[in-house]
Amino acid sequence: MTRPAITAAMKSCGFDVTSSAHGGLYFLENSVMAEFQPDGTASFIGVAPHRDLELTFQGVDLFKKHADEVFKLFETHEGETATDVDPHEHLFPKQIVTLWDPDTQYDLNAETMPVWGQIGIGNAQYMTDCAAL
C-alpha cells in the first residue's frame, strides 16, 4: 500500500496519524507504525499492544497469548524450527514476520505474562534491507 492509502485506511478506522519520523508514519498513540520504500509503498508495518486493537493470526489474538505460544504459532507456520533464536527479537524469513521484546509490561490485562512488544510484517524489500545490515 502507499502512504496515502495506509493513512486513509487507518483514518477510516478512526486512527489519525499521531506522528511521523524518519519517513515513517505512526498511528494510535504510536502503536501502529509503517515504514516506506523510496517509491512511497510500505515495506514494513509493526503493531504494538493497545487497548483499542486486536491483532489476530490463524484465529489467535496475538496480544492475549503468552509470547512463547505466539512464537510457536509462527514457527509452526514457517514450516521449520527456528535456529539462532534471540529471546528479544526474531524474524521469520519465509513469512517476513518479526517479533520484538517480549515482556510482562505489554500484557494489557494484568501485566502477568510476557507478550510481544511489537509484531510486524514486511515485504521483500524489507528482507533485502535487513540482509544489508
Query: 63: domain range?
Result: 41-132
What pLDDT score does 66 carry? 96
Nearest to 45 by CA among 113, 55, 58: 55
What pLDDT score does 111 carry? 92
Segment 13-27 mean pLDDT = 90
Residue 67 pLDDT greater than 80, yes or no: yes
What pLDDT score does 92 carry? 94
Alpha helix locations (H) across 14-123? 67-78
Cell 484465529 locates to 59
Residue 133 pLDDT greater than 90, yes or no: no
Cα–Cα dist 18/13, whole Å: 14
In a domain, 74, yes or no: yes
- What would the grid cell of residue 108 be? 494489557
Tally the domains of the chain: 1
Segment 46-57 mean pLDDT = 95
Cα–Cα dist 112/126, whole Å: 33
In a domain, 14, yes or no: no
